[in-house]
Structure 1
Amino acid sequence: MDFFDWYWILVVFLFGACWGSFLNVCIYRIPAELSVVKPRSRCPKCMTDLAWKDNIPILGWIFLRGKCRYCKAPVSARYPSIELLTALLFTAVWLVYPYQLIVLPYGLLIFGLIFGSMVDYDEMWIPDRVTIGGEIIGPILSFLIPAMHGVDSHMSGLIQSLIGLAVGFGSLYSVSIIGKLILKKDAMGFGDVKLMGCIGAFLGWESVIFIVFISSLLGTIIGVTFIAIGKKELQSKIPFGPYISLAAMIWMLGGWKLWALYLEWMSGTAY
């Protein structure tokens, strides 16, 4: 890679870190029904407004050694972790799809998936602005950027998005209905169903099969591990949104290649 390539990698990383900082605001304020614009960022303990240098993504927390400048109360490491995670994921998408317009909708989807996952982890629900919002924006972006679905025609992009939305929503909705009939209780939150519809709208119907399988596998492994070490009980509710989101990110960052290899192996055409 030349200097120009490294320049854009740095730009994308910093851009992602800034959006990660805004993500922290959204994760904290939106579930509490607070404005994400006003007031400005402040210490949750002493309520003192933070200086601009304290809000520098990642570095601000490091320079302050994880403590508020004013009251010295500890600041959770989750804040710089989310900023770093967002920056790394934005950069990874750029490296997989360099100089392609597809990085814009994928970056937006990553932002929504992290936001929805963290709220689901904290509150056990996924905001409609992520799920329903994604189901609305996904088809619009697919029409404008048909490359999201590997096609050239704007109308084909829209059709593929709508098919993905229907398959994504319908697949988990069917699972929730069947699970409720068998278990006599809700087997899956409706937020997960809507989230899968959102992801299908962005990534297409083929991604749905991969994501449902991988998220179920991850959820089972991690859930059983938590039960085994005593962190969870057998009847404990476990948020499924983060596993769906993680599987979707795997698909965006090359999981579709694994899926293609799997299909070749199943069809007997792999060498």
Structure 2
Amino acid sequence: MQTISINCFLYILVILSLGSYAAAFTVRWPIKNIYSWEKEAHDLLQLPFNKRLPNYITSTRSYCLHCLHQLSWKELIPLFSYIKLNGKCHYCQVRIPYRYPAIELLHLICCLPLFWFFDNTYNLVLHTLLISALITAAAIDLEHQLIPDECSIIALACALLINLPTSMLENSVLGMITGYGIIAVLRWFYLTFRGQEGIGLGDAKMIAGLGAWLGLSGLVPLLLCASLSGILYTVLINRNGTKYMAFGPFLISSAMLVFFLNL
């Protein structure tokens, strides 16, 4: 019992650390990539490009986004530092964005049950990384309507490795191919008949990973749940259709719901 308690405590520390890194990634990834795309566009058009990335983005250390003061380790303890600092920067007293404690807490809520669901380290580690990648992708897609390839690749790799030593590998591969194919075909039809992009390839790549995770049999409840939640969001919140709706968070939250209900 004592060993289990210690292992659980250590796992909680790992989850929160992973959540802290994921929260920082949701800030740095968009800035870095938008910078790269702007630079590439200027180079393509042979235009001068004098913009530079901020030091707090290129540095391996963490900074306050407002006053740019380098943070000490005491100010970077997941959840606890946020509570101790009352949600404000110690130096400039500007409120710390809610994304940090929210993403750390989401990691704790979504990953902690895995400790009791899996009794081997192999499955526990892979599922933890997979769910962390999904939470990170959902957070970025919700804010920027972009799904990082890094998150999709991690999710896909973890899903295939999870099913590799089992009899579910074939079902996993079929789920990956079918999931990607469904979204790619829908995207092609929308482009052909509407002349505009209705769903991005980022969603297709993500659902390939989700299909590999849940298998072919899990695609139907996944797509049904994601579609219904998307419709419900449109009816209740986005009635006028004035706000672009990122589909990634609906896919990811539905996939995790299907996964936990089937455990």
Alignment TM-score, normalising by the size of structure 1: 0.80
Partner of 1:95: 116
**Superposition pairs for residues 202-221 of structure 1, below 5 Å?**
202-221=213-232
Partner of 1:17: 16
Unpaired segments ≥5 residues, structure 1 = 258-271
The match for 1:234 among 222, 241, 259 is 241
How far apart are residue 56 of structure 1 and its match? 0.5
Taking the aligned partners of 1:36 and 1:102, their CA distance within structure 2 comes to: 33
How far apart are residue 140 of structure 1 and its match? 4.4
CA contact (8 A) 1:13 1:88 kept: no
Partner of 2:130: 109
Taking the aligned partners of 1:161 and 1:119, their CA distance within structure 2 comes to: 26
How far apart are residue 104 of structure 1 and its match? 1.9
Taking the aligned partners of 1:99 and 1:133, their CA distance within structure 2 comes to: 20
For 1:93, the aligned partner's letter is: L
Partner of 2:31: 32
Listed one character per residue, the Cα deviations across residues 39-69 of structure 1 (whole Å, up to 9, x for unaligned) are 3011111111111111000000110011111
Partner of 1:167: 178
Query: Bigger CA drift: 12-21 or 37-46?
Result: 37-46
Partner of 2:89: 68
How far apart are residue 253 of structure 1 and its match? 1.3
Partner of 1:120: 141
Taking the aligned partners of 2:57 and 2:195, their CA distance within structure 1 comes to: 40
Partner of 1:47: 68
| Counterpart secondary structure, 2:30 | coil
Taking the aligned partners of 1:36 and 1:106, their CA distance within structure 2 comes to: 29
The match for 1:186 among 187, 197, 211 is 197
Partner of 1:252: 259
Identity level (%): 25
How far apart are residue 134 of structure 1 and its match? 3.7
How far apart are residue 227 of structure 1 and its match? 2.4
CA contact (8 A) 2:106 2:135 kept: no
Alignment TM-score, normalising by the size of structure 2: 0.82
CA contact (8 A) 1:215 1:243 kept: yes
CA contact (8 A) 1:134 1:199 kept: yes
Unpaired segments ≥5 residues, structure 2 = 33-52
| Counterpart secondary structure, 1:31 | helix
Taking the aligned partners of 1:4 and 1:137, their CA distance within structure 2 comes to: 27
Taking the aligned partners of 1:4 and 1:178, their CA distance within structure 2 comes to: 56
Partner of 1:201: 212
CA contact (8 A) 1:93 1:252 kept: no
Residues matched between the structures, number: 241
RMSD (Å) for aligned C-alpha atoms: 2.3
